[in-house]
Chain A
Amino acid sequence: MRIRLNWRAVLSILSFFVIWNLCVIFKVAGFTEIPGPIEVVVVLFNEFLFTADYWQSWLISFERVLWGFVIAQVLGIPLGLFLGSSTTFRNLVFPVFEMMRPIPPLAWVPLSILFWPTNESSIIFITFIGAFFIITINVFEGVQSIKKEHIWLAKSLGANDFRIFVFVMIPAVIPAIAVGMSLGIAVTWNVVIAAEMIASDSGLGRLTWEGYVSSTAPVVIVGMISIGLAGFISTLLVDLLERRMMPWKYKR
Chain B
Amino acid sequence: MGKIDETKSGKISIRNVTKVYDPDGANVMALDDFSLEIDSGDFIAVVGPSGCGKSTLLNILAGFDTLTEGQIVLDGKNLASIETIPKPGNDRVVVFQQGALFPWKTVMENITYGLIKSGSTDLDEIEARAREFLKRSGNLEEIANVYPAQLSSGMQRRVEIIRAIINDPKLLLLDEPFRAMDTVNKAKMHQHLLKTYQENKKTILFITHDLEEALFLADRVIVMTTRPGKMKLDIQVDIPRPRDQTILASDAYLELRKKTVFAVREEAQKAFERGEREMA
Q: Which A residues contact B (CB, under 8 angstroms)?
A: 147, 149-150, 152-159, 163, 167-168, 171-172, 174, 246-249, 251-252
* Binary A-proximity of B154-177 (CB < 8 A = 1, otherwise 0): 000000000100010000000000
Q: Choose one: B88, B94, B104, B148; the contact of A246 (CB below 8 Å).
A: B104
- In the bound complex, CA of A251 to CA of B150 (Å): 8
| B100–A147 touching, CB < 8 Å | yes
Q: List 11 A-B contacts (CB under 8 A).
A: A149-B98, A152-B62, A153-B93, A153-B96, A156-B63, A156-B93, A159-B117, A168-B102, A171-B102, A172-B104, A174-B104
Q: How far is the CA of A159 from the CA of B93 in the complex (A)?
A: 13
- Say whether A252 contacts B150, CB under 8 Å: yes
Pair B147/A251 contact, Cβ less than 8 Å:
yes
- A157 contacts B117, C-beta separation under 8 Å: yes
Chain B residues lying within 8 Å of A149, measured Cβ to Cβ, are 96, 98, 100
**Shortest Cβ distance from B78 into chain A, in angstroms?**
18
Q: Which residues of B contact A158 (CB under 8 A)?
A: 89-90, 114, 117-118
Interface residue B197 (Cβ < 8 Å from any Cβ of A)? no
**Chain A residues closer than 8 Å to B92, beta-carbon distance:** 156
Residues of B within 8 A of A (CB): 62-64, 88-90, 92-94, 96, 98, 100, 102-105, 113-114, 117-118, 146-150, 163, 167
Report Cα–Cα, A174/B105, bound state, in Å.
Answer: 13
Instruction: Select from chain B the residue with minimum beta-carbon distance to A150.
Output: B100
Q: Which residue of A lies closest to B104 (CB)?
A: A171
In the complex, what distance in Å separates the CA atom of A171 from the CA atom of B113? Answer: 14
Nearest 4 CB-CB pairings of A with B? A157-B114, A149-B100, A171-B104, A248-B147
Assembled-state Cα–Cα distance A10/B97 (Å): 50
State the Cβ distance, B114 to closest chain A Cβ, in Å: 3
CB-defined contacts of B100 to chain A, threshold 8 Å: 147, 149-150, 152-153
> Of A152, A157, A174, A246, which contacts B167 at CB under 8 A?
A157
Q: In the complex, are the beta carbons of A157 and B93 less than 8 A apart?
A: yes
A156 near B96 with CB under 8 A, answer: no
Q: Please name the residue on chain A nearest to B91 by beta carbon.
A: A156
Interchain CA distance A153-B148 in the complex, whole Å: 16
Most buried by B among A152, A172, A251: A152
Query: Which residue on B lies nearest to A160, using beta carbons?
Result: B117
**A246 to B: closest C-beta gap in Å:** 7
A167 to B117 alpha-carbon distance, docked (Å): 11
- Find chain B residues with CB under 8 A from A251 CB: 146-147, 150
A156 touching B102 by the CB < 8 A rule?
no
Q: List, in ascending order, chain B residues with CB within 8 A of A159's CB.
A: 117
A157 to chain B: closest residue by CB: B114
Q: How far is the CB of B99 from chain A (nearest CB, A)?
A: 8
- Contact (A152, B147) CB under 8 Å given A158-B114, A174-B104, A246-B104: no
Q: Considering the chains assembled together, what is the distance between the CA atoms of A155 and B167 in angstroms?
A: 13
Q: Is the CB–CB distance between A248 and B90 below 8 Å?
A: no
Closest chain A residue, CB of each to CB of B175: A149
What residues of chain A lie closer than 8 Å to B94, measured between beta carbons?
Answer: 152-153, 156
Within the complex, what minimum Cβ distance (angstroms) separates B183 from chain A? 25
A249 adjacent to B149 (CB under 8 Å)? yes
